[in-house]
Amino acid sequence: MGRKYFGTDGVRGLANAYPMTAEMALKIGAAAGRYFRRDGSQAHRVVIGKDTRLSGYMFENALTAGLTSTGMNVLLLGPVPTPAVGLLTPSMRADFGIMISASHNPHHDNGIKFFGPDGYKLSDEAELEIEKLIDEGVELAMPENIGRAKRVDDGRYRYLERVKSSFPSGMNLNGIKVVIDCANGAGYRAAPEVLWELGADVIPVGTAPNGKNINEGCGSTKPQTAAEMVVAHGADVAICLDGDADRVVIVDEAGTVADGDQIMGLMASRWASEGRLSGNALVATVMSNLGLERFLSAQGIGLERTAVGDRYVVERMRVGGFNLGGEQSGHIVMTDYSTTGDGLMAGLQFLAEMVRTGKKASELAAVFDPVPQLLKNVRFQAGQTPLDMDAVKATIADAETRLQSSGRLLIRKSGTEPLIRVMAECEDDVLLNTVVNDVVDVIQKATAA
């Protein structure tokens, strides 16, 4: 059974348009409140964090109304990184947590992500149960049992201490000049504070949110600004977060960008050498570069691949007992420290390696040569199913045959936007461009028909 409202990572869409309306958020809050408060007792609570989007105020209030209407007590954290919600949900003995964010998307989008009482994202089964309650409606609490809402002023500071605890004891960042790009998002206060407290010379970028500039020309999806700042200021490295600070990319001292695959490769190699890489394997998605797989294999390290989405990475990590995983996009999950991707923690791991080895960022941020990879997106309209059309199927099959001995092809629907993503890897650039463009062309014709 497919999910109706939930995508790869919660409910997401254009703010003030279905399903991301205040009315729908109220229903989602009530449904989630009833799902987690099935025993009818009064000692129930939920923590809510948000990023810096203007619509966050609307959704925060609507969710609070829905949750308190079912008897849930609400603890409001304000703007905090997504991983802070994952960490503080079990720490504050909450039944579940909610993060209001559309991550790397522009400000006009927003989303609602859920965490269970253990701080991990909800299973597909739990989301289906909540969807059922959204559609059926829920029994509201009696007037005397309506929940309360309370602001938690020190949530960010609790998170800061947890983040710093992931950095090697006795080590500091004295003498290291760091550009920190917070994407005008949820980490705009926490990230510079952590780096400064650890001794770094901090150059902040994207730390002036106005509700509409989140991810705008900055952050992990647009690291060019940070790269320019690194060169201009003679910085040693840049850490670029996304809007909710659960992703990271690294920029070296020359302004060269390293994605999540390079960071994971570096960490997996280091952890394996120290005997602390659980299962002697890294968990990554089907999007991770073939070069990463070859690099790890040469060192006797395994690579476990999952579907796209950090929640699927975490599920595989928990089932298999692995402690390191992530995505090429920069979600780095370290279950020894956190329950979900944490861009700031991953950035600190990179900085710790710089301190430990005395090497420049450029010497650490390119641990393998990536196989050329090309990704193109094709937008489609609601109700269209171009991947089911015979012409599209035939073109995809032909492309797979041509790549069989020298690369691979991956076609998938985005879980957060109405896009079909066409990705291929191949060391033959001409073949790479040909197969991707052939598939994109046939999908575009199918969606235009």
Residues classed as catalytic: 103
In terms of phi and psi (left: phi > 0; alpha: psi -120 to 50; beta: otherwise), the region of 403 is alpha
Tracing tokens 């197969």 back to the chain, one arrives at 435
How many Å apart are CA 242 and CA 202, to the nearest integer?
A: 18
H helix count then E strand count, the chain: 14, 18
Residue 217 near residue 104, CB atoms below 8 Å = no
Task: Using alpha carbons only, give the angle 350, 352, 353 rounded to the nearest 5 degrees.
Answer: 65
CA distance from start to end of the chain: 28
In terms of phi and psi (left: phi > 0; alpha: psi -120 to 50; beta: otherwise), the region of 90 is alpha
**Neighbour-count burial of 276, counting CB atoms closer than 10 A to its CB (0-12 exposed, 13-18 middle, 19+ buried):** exposed
Tracing tokens 């229903």 back to the chain, one arrives at 27
Cite the beta strand spans of 199-298 per DSSP E.
201-205, 237-241, 248-251, 257-258, 281-285
Give φ, ψ of 270 to 5 degrees: -65, -50
**Three-state secondary structure string covering 357-400:** HCCCHHHHCCCCCCCCEEEEEEECCCCCCHHHCHHHHHHHHHHH
SS3 state at 206: coil
Residue 47 near residue 98, CB atoms below 8 Å = yes
